Amino acid sequence: MGRLALVWLAAATLAWTQAALSIAQLESFVRSSIQLKHPDREVANYLRTVKLRERLEDRIIVELKAAGAGPRTVEALEALREASKNLPPPPPPNLTAAAEIPPPSPAEWKKIIEAVREYAMNYTRQLPDFICTQVTRRYVDPSGLEFWQTQDTLTARLSYFEQKEEYKLVAINGRYTDLPYERVGGATSMGEFGSMLREIFDRNTQAAFRWERWATLRGRRMHVFRYRVDQPHSQWWLVYQDRDRYNPAYEGLIYVDRDTGVVARITLEAQDIPPGFPITAASTVLDYDLAEVGDRKYMLPLRAEVRMRQGRMLNRNEVEFRMYRKFAAEAVITFETPEPLPPESITEQPPKP
């Protein structure tokens, strides 16, 4: 599995600012805070700085209270309900389309998994030699409440030659650097191209799969499968400061294009990390999309999001793979960093009939 290395840096004092949230964003924040056991007082204090752009209804407050929201959080939500009563309601969820699409039978989805297994085990062999620009936007949050501060932006030249990856750091925050990639510090990740995909489907990993649901991603209908790898068979290593290492159990989702059978997204999240290990949570989302290399198109990484937690400290890396082209040893990466990908290119949509 792609190697995760983590060196936690000191972070500046977090400035809390007012934010205009949708109801979906508000609900996601509160549920995440409940799951991560954030202090009720801190969650409530933040909610008092929030402005909504949609009406908060009683139903949402009741559901969040049932999920475990504390009394101060509920009080802050009730204040938001009163402040937002003249705003438009949130858009209703699109559940009709999902009901109109029958799921595959167990025999059908097991055949799909076996076809994807063959694709995954041969994925790197069919890739061309290429280079691309890898842009890593790094964020930190010392509060542990997902109030993110920008740490830096790394621009690197990623070469893929004879099925091996090589990283050359070119710029930090748009300024040229000759610092080796492995000495940049902070949270970094490598190995997104084929190792995650291959190791999940390797029979030695003994991943357990089941069909989960339909989804739409980048305009295409997707099978979504859930999988789990137990700890004895895990090949995913968490590494803290080159000192502590652990390979946890993990689980996640696989998005498979219904028409082409290729993998468009992988997610994984560490499970059952032992008490006392410095990294207490880690997860990755990796998206693939068609990219042109020479005169052909290949399914190549588009974006990865890596999250890690140590105590209250959170790190998030958003990694984009841009400007693919044929490999050339003398190829040059400019210091110019592309703008972030548009949200629609990475956001799951309701399934289409």
pLDDT digits (tens, 9 = 90+) for 204-255: 999 999 999 999 999 999 999 999 999 999 988 888 777 788 989 999 999 9
Count other Cβ atoms within 10 Å, centred on residue 172.
16
Whole-model pTM: value is 0.74
Which residue has 């209250």 as its token pair?
312
Q: How far is residue 33 from each of residues 41, 108, 118, 130, 216, measured CA to CA in Å? A: 11, 39, 40, 42, 28
Taking the C-alpha atoms of residue 98 and residue 224, their distance in angstroms, rounded to an integer, is: 13
| 9, pLDDT greater than 60 | no
| 63, pLDDT greater than 80 | yes
Ranges 1-15, 82-96, 293-307: which has the least confidence = 1-15
Q: What is the pLDDT of residue 105?
A: 94
**Which has the closest alpha carbon to 33: 129, 146, 139, 116?**
146
- Cα-based angle 8, 13, 18 (whole degrees, multiple of 5): 120
DSSP single-letter state for residue 205: G
Q: Are 169 and 190 in contact (CB under 8 A)?
A: no
Amino acid sitting at position 8: W
Looking at domain 97-345, its CATH class is mainly beta
Residue 248 CB contacts under 8 Å (≥ 6 apart), including other chains: 231, 234, 236, 238, 270, 271, 272, 273, 282
What does pLDDT average to over the chain?
Answer: 84
What is the tens place of the pLDDT at every residue in 91-144?
Answer: 875 544 445 678 999 999 999 999 999 999 999 888 899 999 999 999 999 988
Ranges 80-84, 186-190, 292-296: which has the least confidence = 186-190
Residues of the chain with CATH 2.50.20: 97-345
Return the SS3 of 78: helix
Taking the C-alpha atoms of residue 14 and residue 10, their distance in angstroms, rounded to an integer, is: 12
Token readout for 61 is 């407050």
300 phi/psi in degrees, rounded to 5: -130, 160
Taking the C-alpha atoms of residue 67 and residue 78, their distance in angstroms, rounded to an integer, is: 16
- Cα-based angle 198, 308, 207 (whole degrees, multiple of 5): 30
| 159, pLDDT greater than 70 | yes
Residue 49 CB contacts under 8 Å (≥ 6 apart), including other chains: 16, 17, 18, 19
Percent of the chain with pLDDT over 90: 46
Residue 266 CB contacts under 8 Å (≥ 6 apart), including other chains: 196, 197, 200, 252, 253, 254, 255, 284, 285, 286
Q: If residue 73 lies in a helix (H) or strand (E), which one and from where to where?
A: helix 71-83
Percent of the chain with pLDDT over 70: 88
Q: Are 6 and 315 in contact (CB under 8 A)?
A: yes
**Which has the closest alpha carbon to 309: 32, 84, 41?**
32
Ranges 39-53, 176-190, 215-229, 243-257: which has the least confidence = 176-190
DSSP secondary structure string, 9-61?
---PPPPP---EE-HHHHHHHHHHHHHTT--HHHHHHHHTT-EESSPPPHHHH
Print the SS3 string covering 267-278. Answer: EEEEECCCCCCC
Taking residues 300-312, report their average pLDDT.
91
Residue 228 CB contacts under 8 Å (≥ 6 apart), including other chains: 207, 208, 249, 250, 251, 271
Cβ contacts of 65-68, under 8 Å, gap ≥ 24: 67/30, 67/31, 67/34, 68/34
Choose between 39 and 184: higher pLDDT.
39
Q: What is the pLDDT of residue 4?
A: 41
